[in-house]
Amino acid sequence: MQNAPPNTNSESAPDSALLAAVANGDGTAARVLIDRLAPRLLSHATRVLSDRAEAEDVVQETLVRLWKIAPEWRQGEAKVSTWCFRVLVNLCTDKLRARKPHVDIDAIAEPAADLQSVVEQMKDVARRGALDAALGALPDRQRQAVVLRHIEERSNPEIAEIMDIGVEAVESLVARGKRALGSALRGKRAELGYEDDR
């Protein structure tokens, strides 16, 4: 498999068909799925965990679980990418809980003041750095929801499925997260090069 480049048919096939091919021993299909899924999963995990090595670990574990479930995958019941994000989000949550084992992450209040201070420290960094820093100061579930909604561009029902919560809870998390980000970035538009956006 290592030396076989993905063929054109595999690259245009839906994820579920590729997973069925993997279950039948097709290594090329697995490679296409890796190329398709891993970058987005890694992007999300890196933003949520703020640690590249940990992010790679959870992406690797997510895909290992995908290969294991491939033979029992039921076509049409779920999107492969949604299933992967669900596993990834849970693994990220486990990592975050392990960092602060005695804190209920859902009970953390919005740290608006901390966000402000974080952005204060980002005067000379690039826009992406500022966004990542502001995201990093959000409560974990708000951060996951905002990244899924506004960077991964997942729909609210899909995020609800990924995070195993209701659609209204997703809307609430995203709205609070965006409000906190907006508050953190307010007054920093000039530094980030947005002073003419009116």
CA nearest neighbour of 43 among 146, 147, 136: 147
Q: What share of the chain is helix, strand, coil (3-state, %, to 5)?
A: 70, 0, 30
* Single residue of 27, 112, 166, 168 touching other proteins by CB under 8 A: 27
Kindly state the smallest distance separating residue 105's Cβ from other proteins, in Å: 23
Exposure b/e, 103-137, CB count within 10 A at least 16 = b: eeeeeeebeeeebbebbeebeeeeeeebbbbbbeb
CB nearer to other proteins: pick between 1 and 103 = 1
CB nearer to other proteins: pick between 69 and 97 = 69
Kindly state the smallest distance separating residue 126's Cβ from other proteins, in Å: 9
* Single residue of 8, 12, 68, 74 touching other proteins by CB under 8 A: 68
In the stretch 166-185, what mask flags binding to other proteins with x, by CB under 8 A? ------------x--xx--x
Report d(CA 193, CA 127) in Å as an integer: 8
In the stretch 73-112, what mask flags binding to other proteins with x, by CB under 8 A? ----------------------------------------
Report d(CA 143, CA 134) in Å as an integer: 9
